[in-house]
Amino acid sequence: MRLRLPLALATFALFAGCAAVPPRPATAPAPAANDNLDAVAWAQTAIEHDLVYLQTYRDAQSRLLAALHDPQWDALTREDRAAPAAGLPPAVVLDIDETVLDNSPYQARLVKSGGAYDEAGWAAWCKEQRARALPGALAFTRYAAAHGIAVIYISNRAQDLDTATLANLRTLGFPVSGADAFLGLGTVVPGCEQVGTEKGCRRQLVSRKYRVLMQFGDQLSDFVDVAANTAAGRRQAIEGYLDWVGTRWFVLPNPTYGAWEPALFNNDWSAPPAKRRQQKLNALRYN
Ligand SMILES: [Mg+2]
């Protein structure tokens, strides 16, 4: 039979018991919630991430020589092709960040600190020259170079990060040669007006010297300039080139950052974080 103590007595016993227990050592506070945690964890640890990169570069490599030997083959749009491709030497064009170099440690640091991207922090990370090669990128670019195909990196790293960036690439074994190897943000292209961070002018610069066999990137803007960065505008920008995806253009996954995100909140980074977050929730499909 269970004894029932009167409530007041039971309460006294409970608190008296608590008082007798020595205080526990303080535990570290739980890390603040961060919407980018899963995306960075996936990019950095999931084998599936690595396999997507590997299969993309392997597939491209298996198609590269056919493209090389087809004199009509060109991976630049009519808008980007400033000079006829016929007779020009071959090249492949690759973005750098999250295309050939893995910057997930920079993202991981932001998740841990609760910080946000800023130019100074990003430049400091680039200057560490500790980005690793993404799976398949090294083998592909070396294969291209071995077949006499120029390897050109069009990146939105600032042009003055060229020394650190090229050193990082060289240390990893990426082919880097010629004055055109790194076309960063700030590259002046005569006769072409730079629009924001769009890469069209730099693609035009490449088009004057090369027939481009393939392009690689993790952002839509690595392939086409995007006039309206909305979900609909982004789909419209790629619409005429869907047949090129997987043959001339190779798209890699980046759930950790990119223009897809501000497209969900009207590109208004000045809006409070809670408002941007709500707009992202509003953008989800629920049925
Ligand atoms: Mg990129």
Whether residue 14 lies inside any domain: the answer is no
Which pLDDT tens digit goes with each residue over 87-143?
A: 999 999 999 999 999 999 999 999 999 999 999 999 999 999 999 999 999 999 999
Which pLDDT tens digit goes with each residue over 7-47?
A: 443 443 344 444 456 666 677 777 789 999 999 999 999 99
- Interior angle at CA 228, CA 118 and CA 116, nearest 5: 15
Rounded distance from Cα 255 to ligand 1 centre (Å): 11
Number of domains in the chain: 1
Whether residue 261 lies inside any domain: the answer is no
Whether residue 268 lies inside any domain: the answer is no
Alpha carbon distance 151, 253 (integer Å)? 21
Rounded distance from Cα 94 to ligand 1 centre (Å): 9
> 252 vs 102, 148, 275, CA distance in Å?
12, 25, 29
Whether residue 120 lies inside any domain: the answer is yes
Alpha carbon distance 178, 243 (integer Å)? 31
- The answer to whether residue 5 scores a pLDDT higher than 70 is no
Rounded distance from Cα 24 to ligand 1 centre (Å): 47
Whether residue 160 lies inside any domain: the answer is yes
Query: What's the length of the chain?
Result: 287
Whether residue 17 lies inside any domain: the answer is no
pLDDT average, residue stretch 266-277:
96
Confidence (pLDDT) at 176: 97
From the number of C-beta atoms within 10 Å of its C-beta (0-12, 13-18, 19+), residue 14 rates as exposed
Confidence (pLDDT) at 16: 41
Rounded distance from Cα 140 to ligand 1 centre (Å): 17
Whether residue 81 lies inside any domain: the answer is yes
Rounded distance from Cα 71 to ligand 1 centre (Å): 29
Q: At 180, which CATH number?
A: 3.40.50.1000
Provide the percentage of residues in the chain whose pLDDT is more than 90: 87
Whole-structure pTM value: 0.90
- Residues of the domain holding 131: 34-256
Whether residue 90 lies inside any domain: the answer is yes
